Chains A and B, each alone.
Chain A
Amino acid sequence: MTVVFDGIASGMLLFLIAVGLSVTLGLMNFVNLAHGVFAMLGGYVCVVATGRYGVPFLLAVPLAALAAAAAGAVLERTLFRRLYGATQLDQVLFTIGVVFVAMAAARWGFGPQQQPIRLPSWLQGQVTIAGVDIGLYRAFLVVLGLLVAFGLHRTIGVTRFGARLRAAVDKPAVARGMGIDVDRVFVITFAIGSGLAGLGGAVGVELLGLDPSFPLRYLVYFLIVVAVGGSGSIGGSLLAAVLIGVCDVAGKYWVPQVGAFIIYTVMVVMLIVRPQGLFGTR
């Protein structure tokens, strides 16, 4: 059971990081392989803020999210938006280029080594509930993930912003005609997605580690979440992320000789059987 809970916790992390990708890639059709860069940025901001400047962890995390959101907005404005209409190959090349530059920058700034993070004492240790060992930090991740999922669901599903986003994506010309500032909708969406990735990256240092190869190492996991969860579906992303987290952790725990192989197989099979994802409608 502990394994399952750990899986759920890492699934929540995956969800936080990947849900933004689900929107930009799934809804806006922008193949952004550089999504992990924002998570990495959030991670470094958090590590530097807590480690070097003694900022409390709970303050450093939102700071990391804001930094990543700002970076996402700037990149969207200056570069990514040029590629919305481009071919898939162009988007792939360009965003891989961004990944490489970011990785080089991270290595230049922080060196190739893993970054340590010191968690506040109240998040350390574990409790045993009904015979299940639950790490406090993992419980924190689960709660955070659920809160974000709920918040997003309210924002995208219920408010006018969600409707505008859908309109802007489906029929940009019509949306413009209706007075929707499509460019602004896109940049805000992108910023939110990047910000959440930054948030995930910041709280994920403890579990996922942080070094310059982060954006590439976890890229496939993010893509799997989108593939399995279906385009732009928040509930789908959440469920997919948790499923993958559990499969991954359980797989590595019970059948270590197979390892991550399971995850990739699940993804490929999933893509063949249901290309639109578990909950996708397209």
Chain B
Amino acid sequence: MDSRSPDSLSPGPDAAAATPAPATVDLAPLRRAARPRWPELAVWLLPVAAWFLLPEDLALLTQIAIMAIFALSLDLVLGYAGIVTLGHAAFFGVGAYAAGLLAAKLGIGDPLLGLLFAAAVAALAGLVTAPTVLRGTGLTRLMVTIGIGMMLFEAANKATDLTGGVDGLQGIEMTPILGLWSFDLWGKTAYVYAVVVLLVLFLIARRIVHSPFGLSLRALHMNPARMPALGVSVDARLAAAWVLGATYAGIAGALLTQTTQFVSIDVLGFERSAEILLILVLGGAGRLYGALIGTIVFVTLHHVLAGIDPEYWQMWIGLVLIGIVLFARNGIMGAIDPFERLLARKKTEP
């Protein structure tokens, strides 16, 4: 009798005896786990709806798509792998400058080629920084991320010949995407381009987080000390997540360059690193849709509130951060958690 534990769903030991524990494990729920669900489709209808409903705001919507990719990249690093970073803008900036320099200095204006190039450069930057960042833990690691971010900012700031310094990088000319669609004045091409890239990157990320590799990231976030006892080299996994996040961030930065045809030094700023962190925790870290929802809410709020009074905007950010930590640790997506679990439970029970 005592091998049955109180966590059994049955009301008591006697009832437990009447309904013996299932002797076999039903694998179906786990096999189903990675399948798309209908609310997901609804989310992806939003950008389509926005195209028709908000044709005047395509530039803003493009920004949202780009920021969503950036948030997604931080989600992989922080939400899944659990690396706290305050220097993530470094990779966004590297990607932005890589795409910008390729077009402005080398005259290669093909957007897709630019994205690939930026992704490669950002991945390399991730690879180079990974040992440095992962070597320390806790506070040391956090400060290394800040330091790397600042180093890159100062480097871009001083290398005016290359980057234009505080004046920004200009003279970026983009050729039509695949030779078919040129960037128009109304930002239609830019919007579709950004949303398609977001969708593709999201689907890739979705596959990755549902893979054994993704599972290992979640696990080592929960308990890094256990992983070596399962024969896993924690550093290698973290480094992989770091490089992946860097690559995504680089693509986001490149998209910003290509759609605005300008690179401001702000792409590397500390504020950008802090802002994307806020966006992610607002939406809910450790969930891919948290990154999307956080971005939509944040950029919309920014647009509305900063439109009213830009000076109060910063205060709102601050208050939201404080509020999240004190009251809503799991962000917006955290609010739907209990319902999700209830649903999942119903499905697994006969």
Contact = CB atoms under 8 A, between A and B. Distances in A.
A88 B84 contact: yes
B312 interface: yes
A79 B323 CA distance: 11
Interface in A94-141: 94, 96-105, 107-108
> By CB atoms of chain A within 10 A, which of B148, B151, B313 has the most?
B151
B331 to A, nearest CB: 11
Contacts of B312: 104
Judged by DSSP, the binding face of A is helix
Contacts of A220: 146-147, 150, 270
Contacts of B148: 264, 268
A89 interface: yes
B33 interface: no
A268 B151 contact: yes
B319 A261 contact: no
Given A258-B158, A261-B155, A268-B144, A94 B84 contact: no
B329 interface: yes
- Chain B contact residues: helix, strand, loop or mixed: helix
Interface residues of A, number: 43
A88 B138 contact: yes
B348 to A, nearest CB: 30
Contacts of B158: 257-259, 261
B140 A101 contact: no
B49 interface: no
B314 interface: yes
B144 A259 contact: no
A92 interface: yes
A101 B142 contact: no
A88 B324 CA distance: 14
A267 B147 contact: yes
A107 B311 CA distance: 7
A216 B278 CA distance: 16
A178 interface: no
Contacts of A86: 325
Q: Most chain-B Cβ atoms within 10 A of its Cβ — which of A98, A100, A219, A223? A: A100
Contacts of A268: 132, 144, 147-148, 151
B321 A96 contact: yes
A220 B269 CA distance: 13
A223 B146 contact: yes
Contact of B315 (A79, A105, A219): A105
Contacts of A99: 318
A25 interface: yes
Most buried by A among B142, B144, B270, B321: B321
A224 B312 CA distance: 30
A257 B313 CA distance: 34
A271 B318 contact: no
Contacts of A158: none
Contacts of B321: 93-94, 96-97, 100
A108 B314 CA distance: 11
A31 B139 contact: yes
Contacts of A107: 311, 314
A100 B318 contact: yes
Interface in B81-110: 84, 86
A88 B322 contact: no
B324 A25 contact: no
B157 to A, nearest CB: 7
Interface in B116-154: 132, 135-136, 138-140, 142-144, 146-148, 150-151, 154
A90 interface: yes
Most chain B CB inside 10 Å of its own CB: which residue of A102, A223, A264, A267: A264
B329 A90 contact: yes
A94 B270 contact: no
A1 interface: no
A259 B87 CA distance: 19
Contacts of A98: 318, 322
Nearest to B277: A93
30 contacts: A25-B139, A29-B139, A83-B325, A90-B325, A92-B84, A94-B321, A94-B326, A96-B321, A98-B318, A100-B314, A100-B318, A100-B321, A103-B314, A104-B312, A104-B318, A216-B270, A219-B270, A220-B150, A223-B143, A223-B146, A224-B143, A227-B140, A227-B143, A257-B158, A258-B158, A260-B150, A261-B158, A265-B151, A267-B143, A268-B148
Interface of A: 25, 29, 31, 79, 82-83, 86, 88-90, 92-94, 96-105, 107-108, 216, 219-220, 223-224, 227, 257-261, 264-265, 267-268, 271-272, 275
3 smallest A-B Cβ distances: which pairs? Answer: A97-B321, A100-B318, A104-B315
Given A93-B325, A96-B274, A100-B315, 16 more contacts: A93-B278, A94-B321, A94-B322, A97-B318, A98-B322, A101-B318, A104-B312, A104-B313, A104-B314, A220-B147, A227-B140, A264-B147, A267-B147, A268-B147, A271-B136, A271-B140
